[in-house]
Amino acid sequence: MTTHRVAFVGTGADPENPTSDGFAMAYQHAAAYEKLDSCELVACADIVRENAEAFAVRHDIDEEGVFEDYEEMLTAVEPDVVSVCTPPSTHSDLVVGCAESGVVDAIHCEKPMAMTWGGAKRMAATCERAGVALTFNHMRRFGDPFRDAKQLLDDGAIGDLQRIEYSWGNFYDNGTHAIDMCNYFNDERPATWVIGQLDYRNEEVYFGTHNENQMLASWEYDNGVYGMATTGPASEIADGDWRLVGEEGVMDVHLTDEVAVRVRSYADGRTIEREYDDLASDESCIDRAIEEVIQAYEASEESELCARNALNTTEIIFAGYESVRRRGRVDLPLDIEDNPLEEMVESGALSPQTSG
């Protein structure tokens, strides 16, 4: 069996104490690779050397595999697969650097894709040019409720899909998971326009990036299905955390107060109820995601977590923020390079208050 030599950029400090400033996601990636016979963990790089050293001890990586500079690591170790688990503002440059090194075949990067729309496009284009398989850790779609909901949808439980609503988290940090799930339900179609409005009165920074307090957005996919998002206060305007509206029924996927899928058919009044102990039952979603990424890489196939799908999600996010900046509907493709929310804070157009 071929062994894939796996390296990590950004290990994090303390996986026992996750906060919105540091989950040490690399430990969860490492645990997933360790479950695969085809993968061997060979190196890690972190600008904080102690972080890399602690990670290496935990995951049986030799001292020679510990680096502060990821480029030195790539030159010395020539890994096949790299997991990028650093803050969003660094994703684009690190992924581009790994792809341009000429030694890496596959990169699995944490979500959100990038801090800016230009950065997201650049990392995808560079990897495509270099023949590097680029994937993003939108792993929540591997949870049992989402898999079951998609199967029920494909089996016709609510007829043809007309609208997908989500009311969960925010539009960027975990919105990237939420919109990824909407796109998963709608067979990875791209959107054609996005319109949105937001409120940002109290500073909300996750992993170094601003997130709105409350948002209302809608969009249309190129197959005529509509998407709708409500985040923050009053987001319960939508009944389920995800609601799928079809021609013949409605399906709710609940994740917050309970983990459940509920279907109600308009056609015959039939209901389906499925309840779950947790999101993914026995295995974690990251294990499933990394297993699928490695299987696709081995088969030279496109992973469902591929950059093409992640770009569809990321375009909706930045187009939603751009709609706020432009005060109007944004038709796609999105013709900006920056992150409109970050820019509106920098320019003073939005002035969130800090709590401290």
Given the rule CB under 6 A, which residues bind ligand NAD?
9-13, 22-25, 45-48, 51, 70, 85-88, 90, 94, 110-111, 137, 139, 207
CB of 113 to ligand NAD, least distance (A): 9
Question: Which contiguous run of DSSP H or E holds residue 107?
Answer: strand 106-109
CB of 109 to ligand NAD, least distance (A): 8
Place of tokens 């007309």: 162
CB of 289 to ligand NAD, least distance (A): 9
**Does residue 32 sit in helix, strand or coil?**
helix
CB of 285 to ligand NAD, least distance (A): 8
**Does residue 81 sit in helix, strand or coil?**
strand
Q: Map 170-234 to HEC letters.
A: CCCCCHHHHHHHHHHHCCCCCEEEEEEEEECCECCEECCEECCCEEEEEEEECCCCEEEEEECCC
**Looking at beta carbons only, is 221 or 321 nearer to ligand NAD?**
321
**Looking at beta carbons only, is 15 or 246 nearer to ligand NAD?**
15
Q: Tell me the two tokens of residue 327.
A: 């005060």
Expressed in percent and rounded to 5, the helix, strand and coil fractions of the chain are 35, 25, 40
**Looking at beta carbons only, is 305 or 319 nearer to ligand NAD?**
305
CB of 308 to ligand NAD, least distance (A): 19
**Looking at beta carbons only, is 91 or 121 nearer to ligand NAD?**
91
CB of 86 to ligand NAD, least distance (A): 4
Yes or no: say if 242 and 261 are a contact pair by the CB < 8 Å rule: no
**Looking at beta carbons only, is 169 or 249 nearer to ligand NAD?**
169
Q: Which residues, in sequence order, are bridge partners of residue 243?
A: 165, 252
**Looking at beta carbons only, is 88 or 340 nearer to ligand NAD?**
88
Distance of alpha carbon 84 from alpha carbon 7, whole angstroms? 9
Bin 163: left if φ > 0, else alpha if -120 < ψ < 50, else beta.
Answer: beta
**Looking at beta carbons only, is 24 or 316 nearer to ligand NAD?**
24
CB of 153 to ligand NAD, least distance (A): 23
Per DSSP, 353 falls in state B
